[in-house]
Amino acid sequence: MKYELVIFDWDGTLADSTGHIVDCIRHACEVTREEFPGSEASRNIIGLGMHEALVQLFGERDQRFIDRFRTAYSEYFFRAPMSREDLYEGAVETLERLQSMGCQLAIATGKSRRGMDRALEQLDLLQYFSGIKCADETRSKPDPLMLEQLLDEHKVIPQRAVMIGDTEYDMNMAFKIGMPRIGVDYGAHAPDRLAAFGPEAIIAAPLELLELVMD
């Protein structure tokens, strides 16, 4: 195998959730009586931790606003249960085949631990991942700390791991520590933004990853 550890972003990479996230931001703006920044701006912050996302969208705000926004966002987000139809076509098969090939799989996400655990439980996917790092328990992307933690836990050097993601934040954090990276062109950020960080490839479907991780 070319890589011992394959690290996935979640939203926009495995889960087709970018539209729902934008709707959650719109709803939270209505609850907090904040002007909705628009769909493009909302898609742009996908992948960041909640605090970092709110600063980028609205500037520095007090903790009361952050708490109210987070609560409204979470309540809307958790209203509907998830199913495997919410994943991109081929995502589960990709995980199954990578695992059968001997790859260790992990997640590095801007989601909260609560949201990530809920998704994996409802989708029955937890068994595929040997490590998960969420933005509310480490530093937000594009800081590479969550990648460094996963590498340390799996005892893998950066050059033997690869980051798979749909945003420049995913590409940037891998770039900072010399980790190979592969972009996907169907998520939150346009391919040209991913290309700026010199990915090994930019793929159009999860299953295209299989050939890229083989020697």
Q: 87 has which bridge partners?
A: 15
pTM of the full structure: 0.92
Q: How big, in percent rounded to 5, are the helix, strand and coil portions of the chain?
A: 50, 15, 35
The whole-number pLDDT of residue 139 equals 94
Residue ranges and CATH numbers for the domains of the chain are 5-16+85-213 (3.40.50.1000), 18-77 (1.10.150)
Q: What is the mean pLDDT of residues 168-183?
A: 98
pLDDT in tens, 98-147: 999 999 999 999 999 988 999 999 999 999 999 999 999 999 999 999 99
User: In this structure, are residues 109 and 135 in contact, taking their beta carbons and an 8 Å threshold?
Assistant: yes
pLDDT in tens, 3-13: 999 999 999 99
Neighbours of 128 (CB within 10 A): 18
User: In this structure, are residues 140 and 51 in contact, taking their beta carbons and an 8 Å threshold?
Assistant: yes
pLDDT in tens, 35-62: 999 999 999 999 998 889 999 999 989 8
Taking the CA of residue 73 as centre, how many other CA atoms within 13 Å lie in the half-sphere pointing to its CB?
Answer: 21
Task: Give which of 175, 125, 120 is closest to 147, Cα–Cα.
Answer: 175
